Every structure is written in structure tokens, then in C-alpha cells.
Amino acid sequence: MVKSIEITKASIRARLIIDAEVKMNDPTDYDFSPRANMNGNVLQIHNEGDEESNSTIELDDEQMTVLERDRFVELRVKFSVQGMHGVLTHKTKIVRDGPNSKKLAEPRWKTVLPIVL
């Protein structure tokens, strides 16, 4: 189940893009079904069936124009699990520069949500 949702940024490209961080209770929990609601110029993102874990952001005039035109929003989510690894006591040096360096994988997800007015 979702522990918390936090909207970090709203931006406009070809459509309105919302970046969010979602903290889950357990690493094997896959119960995340986002929904988007509008109330005036405030956009609310919440998990279906769980009204307690929600996040809101106030949109400006340009973002509202794009949202009213499209009637959907692109949601980009970064997942994490709260307190899964504990406290790191021995830090090791990770060299990630050079031609053969690789970026570590991050749990990310992207979807398009219709807006419920």
C-alpha cells in the first residue's frame, strides 16, 4: 500500500507533466493506481481507494490552460520504500565517471491520467 505521495514539480512541454515521489510500505507491494482530480485550480493526485495518501499542487494560468485543453496529465513517478535499508555505516567509493561507466537503476514509472472535474 502507498505510504505517501508528494508532488515535486509541475511543468509544461507538449502537455502538463507532474513529477511525483511515492513512498511504499513494502518492496513487494505493487498496489498503486493513481487518480487525478481538479478542484478550481488545485490538482490532486491520490491512490484509488485510499483518500489519506494524497498530494495537491496549485496550478498557474498557463498550466490550467494546457490542462483544460488536453483534459489529461502525464504523471512521472519515482518509487521508494521508507526505511528499507536502514542506516548506511560503511560507505564505499563508487566511481561512475569515464567512458564505460553505468548509471544505477532507479524505479521509475510514467503514465497518462485523465482529469476528473
Calpha distance 107→5 (Å, rounded): 15
Quickly count: other Cβ atoms within 10 Å of residue 48's Cβ. 11
C-alpha cell at 114: 485523465
Tens of pLDDT, residue by residue over 15-31, are 999 999 998 888 788 88
Quote the pLDDT of residue 38.
Answer: 93
CB burial of 75-106 (b: ≥16 within 10 Å; e: otherwise) equals bebebebeeeeeeeeeeeeeeeeeeeeeeeee
pLDDT < 50: residue spans in the chain: none
- Residue 51 has a pLDDT of 79
